[in-house]
DNA sequence: AGTCAAATACGGCAAATGGCGTATTGTGTT
DNA sequence: AACACAATACGCCATTTGCCGTATTTGACT
């Protein structure tokens, strides 16, 4: 690459902004050009200065959030790559960002090297995704039904292990088989299921599996 | 991770097989256990030897292809991670593989380090995807094209009464409650369910409800 | 250093479930 | 009339499930 990759960043948190700049500064092929504290500011700066290759875009910002900004930006300058860089990894944000035209979706905990690689890959016509995000996109693809279902549910949180158990439950497996598959004692599996039921407010396998699917927990 | 990651490979091309083995051999935390030349062979080897963490699965194989094999494998051993490793990157294969339950999709041109990283990330609950594949999944998500399975449907026929019972089953109700609702004795409900299981070739409420939904019987 | 949540695990108990055989009644078809 | 089949129903039995209490370990955060 003869030319440096020119980058703009949109983020309202100046501390995180600084962290990102630092990560980028390790690499000589990257050139951090400017930043904005919200979507509107970013778009205004683009009016005078469009020679940017990649935008790293936060989602939660005042005035105009990153998803709206992405939508407008990609419509106006389609050649510019937009990579979401955020702490939020809920399905709705991911899906909205993709719909808005994002070329990648990374989480802020990403290390400098992976960020760099993601930027380069995106410029080369790929897409940047942290593995946990990739998993969620796979799940979204598997259940195309609920794309319409935008309304909020009361955010039931299951632990990772509980989700694993639930996934096995959904295959119709029994406690003992699940225990074997996960290298646990049946007692533990049963306790996990008990806890799942409490969290989901259900009283049987079927109800649990159905509720989990509704809430896209599996 | 104290334990080595145990890997099985399915690929009909022995040359490519060797290449993959070589790539894996660079890493001390990876343990290539066995390989198979097609999906059927893989499943047979799994019958005796299931202590595998990750399967690297080719798509085009004789006898049984990688997508069918993935579907069966993931149903039988849901905890095992399956990563497609193939030269084919067309939308249909990607989508089918994801539907079949693949946990990742990598292209064979991948270098050793990225392959290793992908395996580890997948084990850690993420998903492995080469950037070009990630891009295609994003596009698939953006386009609300209905990829609903046109094929299969073995036309299982249930009687009216059986459908009624099944509908109640799907609400998560017990035999006795269903009996009350339909003005039947619990024995009858159980017999109906027994017959339903036989027709659907399943062995539990959950499986029955899921199969019925797949076949749009309820 | 202390707290907390999560993951692990056991035992007990009542109810539900899944699989088997058997039997009677009605209904429609050959 | 004979036959097939769905719907109804009971009993037996082993296993699974749902619910309860309790307990230890570990890792994360304060």
Q: Which nucleotides of C are covered by protein (CB under 7 A)?
A: 6-12, 15-23
Q: Which residue does chain B place closest to A125, by CA atoms?
A: B132
Residue whose C-alpha is closest to residue A200's, from A177, A216, A184: A216
CA of A167 to C1' of D26 (A): 24
Task: State whether CATH 3.40.50.970 applies to domain A160-214.
Answer: no
Residue A140 has pLDDT above 70, yes or no: yes
- The nearest CA of chain A is from the CA of B101 a distance in Å of 8
CB of B174 lies under 7 Å from some atom of strand D:
no
Q: Please tell me which of A54-58, B51-55, B94-98, B100-104 the model is most confident about, judged by mean pLDDT.
A: A54-58
Residue B93 has pLDDT above 90, yes or no: no
A129 and chain B in contact, CB less than 8 A: yes
CB of A190 lies under 7 Å from some atom of strand D:
yes
Of A98-102, B14-18, B23-27, the one with minimum mean pLDDT is A98-102
Q: Please tell me which of A82-96, B25-39, B129-143 the model is most confident about, judged by mean pLDDT.
A: B25-39
Residue B65 has pLDDT above 50, yes or no: yes
CB of A171 lies under 7 Å from some atom of strand D:
no
Residue A33 has pLDDT above 70, yes or no: yes
Q: What is the mean pLDDT of chain B?
A: 83
Q: Which residues pair with B9 in a beta bridge?
A: B35, B56
Q: What is the mean pLDDT of chain A?
A: 83
DSSP A128: E
A211, B36, B70, B179 from B7: Cα distances, Å = 34, 12, 15, 49
Residue A149 has pLDDT above 50, yes or no: no
Question: Smallest Cβ distance to A144: which of B134, B147, B203?
Answer: B147
Q: Which residue does chain A place closest to B208, by CA atoms?
A: A172
Instruction: Indicate yes or no: CB of A131 within 8 angstroms of CB of B144.
Output: no
Of A207-211, B17-21, B33-37, B83-87, the one with minimum mean pLDDT is A207-211
Task: State whether CATH 3.40.50.10860 applies to domain B5-142.
Answer: no
Say what the pLDDT of residue A2 is.
Answer: 53
Residue B186 has pLDDT above 70, yes or no: yes
CB of B124 lies under 7 Å from some atom of strand D:
no
Residues of A in contact with B128 (CB under 8 A): 131, 134
Residue A137 has pLDDT above 90, yes or no: no
Phi, psi of A54 (to 5 degrees): -135, 135
- The answer to whether B55 and B28 are in contact (CB under 8 A) is no
Task: Please state, in angstroms and rounded to a whole number, the distance separating the CA atoms of residues B65 and B10.
Answer: 10
Residue A150 has pLDDT above 50, yes or no: no
Instruction: Indicate yes or no: CB of A206 within 8 angstroms of CB of B146.
Output: no
Tell me the HSE value of A69 on the side-chain side, using a 13 A CA sphere: 32
The residue among A191 and A154 whose pLDDT is bigger is A191
Instruction: State the residue for tokens 């539990």.
Output: B204
Structure tokens at B196: 């339903």
According to DSSP, the β-strands at B54-57 and B5-10 are parallel
Residue B103 has pLDDT above 60, yes or no: yes
DSSP A147: G
Rg (CA), chain B: 21
- The nearest CA of chain B is from the CA of A11 a distance in Å of 23
**End-to-end Cα separation, chain A, in angstroms:** 42
A203 and chain B in contact, CB less than 8 A: yes
Task: Please state, in angstroms and rounded to a whole number, the distance separating the CA atoms of residues B74 and B72.
Answer: 6
pLDDT digits (tens, 9 = 90+) for A84-132: 998 877 777 888 888 888 888 998 888 898 899 999 988 887 888 887 7
- Torsion, Cα B178 B180 B181 B186, to 10 degrees, reads 30
Query: CATH 1.10.10.10: which residues of chain B?
Result: 160-214
Instruction: Indicate yes or no: CB of A137 within 8 angstroms of CB of B141.
Output: yes
Say what the pLDDT of residue A144 is.
Answer: 55
Task: Please state, in angstroms and rounded to a whole number, the distance separating the CA atoms of residues B119 and A150.
Answer: 33
Residues of B in contact with A129 (CB under 8 A): 129, 131, 134
Residue B154 has pLDDT above 80, yes or no: no
Structure tokens at A7: 């980058």
Query: CATH 3.40.50.2300: which residues of chain A?
Result: 5-142
Q: Where does the pLDDT of residue A16 fall: very low under 50, low under 70, confident under 90, or very high at 90 and above? A: confident
Instruction: Indicate yes or no: CB of A131 within 8 angstroms of CB of B132.
Output: no
Residues 6+ away with beta carbon under 8 Å from B127 = A131, A132, A134, A135, A137, A138, B103, B104, B121
């Amino acid at each position: 690459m003869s030319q440096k990759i020119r980058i703009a960043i949109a983020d309202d948190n100046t501390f995180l902004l600084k962290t990102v700049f630092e990560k980028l500064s390790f690499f000589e092929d990257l050139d951090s050009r400017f930043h904005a504290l919200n979507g509107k500011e970013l778009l205004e700066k683009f009016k005078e200065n469009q020679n940017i290759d990649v935008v790293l875009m936060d989602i939660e910002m005042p005035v105009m959030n990153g998803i709206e900004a992405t939508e407008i930006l990609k419509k106006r300058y389609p050649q510019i790559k937009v990579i979401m860089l955020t702490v939020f990894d809920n399905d709705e944000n991911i899906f909205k960002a993709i719909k808005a035209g994002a070329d990648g979706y990374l989480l802020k905990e990403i290390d400098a090297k992976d960020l760099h690689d993601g930027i380069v890959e995106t410029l080369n016509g790929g897409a940047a995704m942290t593995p946990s995000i990739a998993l969620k996109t796979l799940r979204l693809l598997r259940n195309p039904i609920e794309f319409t279902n935008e309304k909020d549910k009361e955010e039931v949180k299951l632990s990772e292990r509980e989700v694993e158990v639930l996934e096995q439950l959904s295959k119709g497996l029994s406690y003992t088989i699940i225990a074997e598959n996960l290298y646990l004692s049946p007692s533990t599996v049963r306790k996990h299921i008990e806890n799942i039921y409490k969290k989901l407010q259900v009283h049987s396998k079927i109800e649990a599996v159905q509720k989990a699917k509704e809430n896209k927990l599996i």
